[in-house]
Amino acid sequence: MKKVVIYQSKYGAAKKYAEWIAEDLGCDLYEKRSIKPKQLEKYDTIIYGGGIYAGGISGISLLVENFKAIRDKDIILFTCGLADPEDKGNVDNIRAGLSKALTPDMLEKIKIFHLRGAMDYSKLGPVHKAMMAMLYKMMKKKDTNSFRSEDKEMLDSYGKNVDFTDRDTIKPIIHYIAEL
């Protein structure tokens, strides 16, 4: 069974996970911009990972635009963002974002995993900096008694370098693929 890991990463966390997954599986690894849709035909299992930005998954268009051609393959998607995937509310929000990009047929076919990422504020582009500043200002206005632990974490880490990546969190992905 031929496998490939493809990723799109703006700030490095999705890339780090993709490299770990490809290493553990002993399979090919491509950055999204380096692979042509036609190349997907030779793989039985396609693992795609992208960062979460403003509710969307970076580079997910590769799966969406080529779904007809790859629908008979095993397709795994991992998202990578700051939101804690152990929190059901976060997962619900991520899934709501995915439902805007993926059809119900795609959501049924694609196995989805959520991983925690990283953020280095010094590397953020102007748009992402502005978005995070807006979120920070909104959060500062809220009643702190209504905060979840993640909200407090966001305020405490604003403007800093935070990294929640953890190699152990890819184990469910590796186990799932081993069972295919």
Here the CATH number for the domain that contains residue 17 is: 3.40.50.360
Q: Taking 80 as the threshold, does the pLDDT of residue 150 lie above it?
A: no
* Cα–Cα distance, 27 to 116 (Å, whole number): 23
150, 111 Cβ separation under 8 angstroms: no
The larger pLDDT score, comparing residue 20 to residue 141, is at 20
Q: Are residues 41 and 102 in the same domain?
A: yes
Domain that holds residue 171: 3-117+164-178
Bridge-based pairing of strands 45-53 and 56-57 is antiparallel
Percentages helix, strand, coil for the chain (3-state, rounded to 5) are 50, 25, 25
Determine the residue type at 173: I
161, 26 Cβ separation under 8 angstroms: no
Q: Taking 90 as the threshold, does the pLDDT of residue 123 lie above it?
A: no
Q: Could you give the 3-state DSSP secondary structure of residue 78?
A: strand
**What is the pLDDT, as a whole number, of residue 121?**
84
Q: Are residues 156 and 134 in the same domain?
A: yes
Number of domain units in the chain: 2
Give one word for 143, left, alpha or beta, with left for phi > 0 and alpha for psi -120 to 50: beta
- For 8-18, what is each residue's pLDDT tens digit? 998 899 999 99
Q: Are residues 97 and 9 in the same domain?
A: yes
Q: Could you give the 3-state DSSP secondary structure of residue 33?
A: helix
Q: Taking 90 as the threshold, does the pLDDT of residue 24 lie above it?
A: yes
Q: Are residues 88 and 156 in the same domain?
A: no
Q: Are residues 113 and 147 in the same domain?
A: no
This prediction has a pTM of 0.90
Q: Are residues 48 and 87 in the same domain?
A: yes
**How far are the Cα atoms of 41, 50, 52, 78, 166 from residue 93, in angstroms, in the given order?**
32, 16, 11, 15, 22
